[in-house]
Structure 1
Amino acid sequence: MARRPLPRILSSGSASITRSREFARTAADNATDVLHPLITITRGLRLLAGAGRQKWAATPKDKRGPTLFLVAACVLAFALMPYGGLIALVTVMGAAAWTGRERTPVKTGPDEAETARLRSLYEALVPYFSVAEDPGPLFSHGGDWEKAFSGYEFDGDGRLTRLQVTYPAYFTDSEAASRARIERLLHAKSGRGREYHFAWDEEGNRLVMSVLGALPTSIGAQRFVTAPGETVLGFTDGDAVQRTVPVHDGDTTRDAPPVVWRTGARSTEPHLLVIGQPGSGTTTLMRSIALQALQHGDILIVEGGGTGEYACLTGRDGVLAVECGPAGALTTLEWAAHETERRLIAANRARQAGHPVPDDIRRPLWILLDRPGVLGHLAAADGRRDPQELLQVPLRHGRAANVTVVLTDQFDGLDTLGETVRTHCRARVVLGHCSREQVESVLGTEPHTTPAADVPPGRGYARLGTGPVLRLQVPATPDPYDEATGEAERQAVLGLLPERQEPVVEAAVPAASGVPEPVLPRSVTVAADGMAVTD
């Protein structure tokens, strides 16, 4: 059955009603725009009148008379002044317009979603911060979370960026396990994927959790403004250290907070141990240290991996040797041990004679050993001694002889490090994505930050001696001979390399007729300057 059309009067009537509504809405909007100043002044007069009534009600009765007399005197003064009435009217209208203006409402507390998040976090902390014997618990199911959370901040997405927690005095905040449980809970409840810093105030029973920003990865290899004996391991948070150095970050120059490692005779941490995951940037850190050490000293490089990561340093001024094989590594380390002893004897004789220490003794010598565990395994397979045994003299007496040892290895080779290495390498660095237990096994204590979800190369933690654990980002120092290296980074590293050594050609001495040529003792040349170690 066909649908019957609506009567003409109904269809035309609905259209006219719609047009009438649109006209009324437009007229109301125009009237609001025209009358907006009047509405603002009226609102301001109402607010001023209300404020006046509150002020009059709050005035004591014995002071109302003088106040009324003062107001009457002001009115009389304006009335007697030329144009006083006009001035008073303009002043009142201006004050009313300023008071009645539309203001953006100020947020004075958390909204509904933020309140629900804080209450959920409070309820999750109840089992950890409450005991049955407490007559007035600060944390209880259904309790007041505002008493426990004295400060909080949220970002634009409604996630916590800062939280200050007040906990009861009987909580065992001096135990690392108790603190770790609270930190893991807050990390999980506040949102993963970010790094959190936890500052425990054991004296005031307060915990402050804050979100840390990502460390910049755009700082590359360059000359850092440091004194002799100072090495920049990387960069950290601005509030973690009390020093900054100017750095080139892209096309700009800015101040960055460095992690400075001090070596030399007065250093309390003369040797460094670097542990990391594969591809975490341990070789990058070693190259960065080598480039900085070549400014004031000589270096020996022993590479256990045999991947040629340090080929760019071969034959450069100040580079005494770059060894990859077990035989060459043992010979180089044996020479380094003898050189350390020679430096000690020469320095002792100079001091006994009342003379200054010779310049060759004062010039720093760096021993850079990469993957000693691999070298030890290869040496054991060939029936040779462990290269770490030859490091005992440089590690124990290197500070007095101005000899510095830097070792890098991976976590799978951590068990192969000897007791001498663990004892004397008091400056530690951990790179890569690691658990809190792995970081503690190297640094001796857990960091006060949560592990990052996305770890770029060169990202980790550093601890110098018994100091605090610092976040660390190593400056990008890639292999310039690697095809995957960018052109800008390649030129930056090549610009820091010393000049190549000129080969020394010795003239052949003809043997006299009838006289046998003397047989020289077998020697292994370690440096290009003619220094040799005899068997």
Structure 2
Amino acid sequence: MDPRQLPRTLGGGRPVARGQELARTAADSAADIFHPLCVIARGLRVLAAGAWRRWQRTPGDRRGPTLLLAGSCAAIVMLLPYGPLLAGVVLMTLSAWAGRDRDAAYGTVRESEGERLQALYEALVPYFSVPEDPAPLYAHDGDWEEAFAGHSFDHEGRLASLELRYPAYFTDGEPEARARIEQLLQMKAGRGREYRFDWDAEANRLHVRVLPALPADIFAQRFVTAPGETVLGFTDPGAVHRTLPVFDGTDRRDEPPVLWRTGPRSTEPHLLVLGRPAAGTSTLLRSLALQALHQGDVVAVDGSGSGEFSFLRGRDGVLAVESSAAGALAVLEWASHETERRLTAANRARQEGRQAPEDVRRPLWIVVDRPTALGHLAAAEGRADPQVLLQVPLRHGRIANVTVVLGDHLDDAAAQLAEPVLALTRARVLLGAVTDEQVRAVLGAPPRTTPPPEAPPGRGYARLGTGPVHRLQVPATPDPYDEETSDHERRAVLSLLPADGRGDDPLPAGAT
């Protein structure tokens, strides 16, 4: 080798002597040689710390028998042939495993991740410890390895899942106590993500995991459902026991749906949809109306008067589409009388021991968007509140095979929705960027997940009666007559419409 090639330069431009380079190489070799010893020493320290913590948690009346048992086992091992050698090999193996390099590629913890877990552990100490506890699981000088049973990090080094133990005296049955822990974990694990909290009160464990975003690329289409089943939207895998095939425009896949069952055997025959402005309440109502047209008749009342349901006019199965106060009152009055007629006909058929007439068995859907706005308009014209006419369909609709779906703004619901509407619509959907308190007030139960950092249109929560609260993403069902609707979504909505009264195809010429 040419001696002139020996000097090298660093970033600062100063030459590095060959002796220094050889010294650095020797240091690296020594580090490689002593690395296993460092691993074993670190493992011995971890094992000793764990044994000391377990000894501190052992009650005083059990420490004597524990020492006697440990001494007896050690004496037996020492008396066995090759016992000390085997004990040393086992101890070194356990030490090497406990002190191994904790690389994320093998599902273990790097140094930075360990620091994050320790910081999270220390933040939980004031909530999971009391001065009276003689051997606290959470202490200011404690270690997170005993409290955290499992964890994982994502590729960005952020916490993706965590399973932690908590003491039995923690009041996990109080919603306020749970909320404090969930808020703390959300802040320490990283904002801007959705978390799911599963409390296992029997085992005193809390499972925390980061949830992926719900699919927002599902648009209106013909879903494979049984008679009486309607798709409200789609939720997390594992939250429901069923999947449906969907088409996203390029490929087909299976997604878990939130199904709402209507009809005479439904426990929750009516639905109330609330949300922020532009959160997707009208989108969900259009989706339900399109699905209902394949099973029965639809009456649509547009209280906002924006014409977002005008594309239904004249289609087979659409009995009326009204947006004025006078027209809405007339349609809802007819719907009330129709419910009474169906109820009487069904009762008479049962008394005579025969099946109800076909026109009674055919489902009737009453879809009302913005009833509070319609009530304001009716009051200005000196007319009665249209919500009064919904009492009969709401009370007797299940027997008469009449389904009522109402959608309104969240801010107008509490003060302006009639009491029968709130009392008789126990299947509910809440859309938009909402808080835990609002979810609890509307759905009757808190969500098991944190609110999303961003709520796209159609994103929210759903609860059917006393069931669990599900995350929900409504399939995109825009107004096909809106100028901002894309051609793809317009064709998807129009393809679901039945032919009009003249038998014309709903799709324009040349559309596919």
The residue matched to 1:200 in structure 2 has which SS? strand
Q: 1:17 to 1:222 in 2, by over 3 A?
A: closer
Task: Tell me what 1:465 maps to.
Answer: 465
Q: Distance in 1 between matches of 2:419 and 2:288?
A: 24
Q: Which runs of structure 2 are paired with 1:299-338 in the superposition (5 Å)?
A: 299-338=298-337
Q: Which runs of structure 2 are paired with 1:17-416 in the superposition (5 Å)?
A: 17-18=6-7, 61=81, 107=106, 109-415=108-414, 416=416
- Deviation track 1:2-41 (CA, whole Å, cap 9, x = no partner) reads xxxxxxxxxxx9946539x99x99xx9xxxxxxxxxxxxx
Q: Distance in 1 between matches of 2:337 and 2:490?
A: 36
Q: Distance in 2 between matches of 1:234 and 1:126?
A: 40
- Deviation track 1:261-284 (CA, whole Å, cap 9, x = no partner) reads 000000000000000011111111
Determine whether 1:486 maps to 2:492: no
Task: Tell me what 1:450 maps to.
Answer: 450
Shift of 1:59: 13
TM-score normalised by L of structure 1:
0.75
The residue matched to 1:442 in structure 2 has which SS? helix
Q: Distance in 1 between matches of 2:165 and 2:316?
A: 59
Larger Rg computed on CA atoms: 1
Root-mean-square deviation over aligned CA pairs: 2.6
Structure 2 gaps of 5+ residues are 9-14, 23-76, 84-100, 504-512
Q: 1:359 to 1:104 in 2, by over 3 A?
A: same
Shift of 1:249: 1.9
Q: Distance in 2 between matches of 1:485 and 1:59?
A: 84
Structure 1 gaps of 5+ residues are 1-12, 29-56, 64-102, 504-535
Paired-residue identity, %: 63
Q: Distance in 1 between matches of 2:206 and 2:487?
A: 47
Q: Distance in 2 between matches of 1:292 and 1:186?
A: 41
Task: Tell me what 1:86 maps to.
Answer: none
Q: Which runs of structure 2 are paired with 1:418-437 in the superposition (5 Å)?
A: 418-437=418-437
Task: Tell me what 2:499 maps to.
Answer: 499
Q: Distance in 2 between matches of 1:209 and 1:108?
A: 17
Q: 1:58 to 1:107 in 2, by over 3 A?
A: farther
- Deviation track 1:54-93 (CA, whole Å, cap 9, x = no partner) reads xxx9996489xxxxxxxxxxxxxxxxxxxxxxxxxxxxxx
What code does the residue aligned with 2:467 have?
Answer: G
- Deviation track 1:322-380 (CA, whole Å, cap 9, x = no partner) reads 11011111111000000000001111111112221100000000000100111111212
The residue matched to 1:227 in structure 2 has which SS? coil
Q: Which stretches of structure 1, 4 residues or more, deviate above 6 A after TM superposition?
A: 57-60, 103-106
Shift of 1:109: 3.5
Q: Which shows bigger deviation, 294-303 or 135-144?
A: 135-144
What code does the residue aligned with 2:265 have?
Answer: R
Q: Distance in 1 between matches of 2:502 and 2:6?
A: 99
Q: 1:364 to 1:17 in 2, by over 3 A?
A: closer
Q: 1:328 to 1:129 in 2, by over 3 A?
A: same
The residue matched to 1:141 in structure 2 has which SS? coil
Q: Distance in 2 between matches of 1:244 and 1:337?
A: 36
TM-score normalised by L of structure 2:
0.79
Q: Distance in 2 between matches of 1:297 and 1:58?
A: 84
Does structure 1 conserve the Cα–Cα contact (< 8 Å) formed by 2:435 and 2:451?
yes
What code does the residue aligned with 1:239 have?
Answer: G
Q: Distance in 2 between matches of 1:371 and 1:62?
A: 84
Shift of 1:142: 1.8
Q: Distance in 2 between matches of 1:368 and 1:482?
A: 20
What code does the residue aligned with 1:264 have?
Answer: G
Task: Tell me what 1:527 maps to.
Answer: none
The residue matched to 1:369 in structure 2 has which SS? strand
Q: Distance in 1 between matches of 2:107 and 2:336?
A: 68
Q: Which shows bigger deviation, 294-303 or 133-142?
A: 133-142
- Deviation track 1:432-460 (CA, whole Å, cap 9, x = no partner) reads 11011111111011101001111111000
The residue matched to 1:199 in structure 2 has which SS? strand
The residue matched to 2:404 in structure 1 has which SS? strand
- Deviation track 1:82-112 (CA, whole Å, cap 9, x = no partner) reads xxxxxxxxxxxxxxxxxxxxx9977473222
What code does the residue aligned with 1:481 have?
Answer: Y
What code does the residue aligned with 2:461 have?
Answer: Y
- Deviation track 1:95-136 (CA, whole Å, cap 9, x = no partner) reads xxxxxxxx9977473222111111111111111111122121
Q: 1:17 to 1:319 in 2, by over 3 A?
A: closer
Does structure 1 conserve the Cα–Cα contact (< 8 Å) formed by 2:107 and 2:152?
no
The residue matched to 1:460 in structure 2 has which SS? strand
Q: 1:392 to 1:62 in 2, by over 3 A?
A: closer
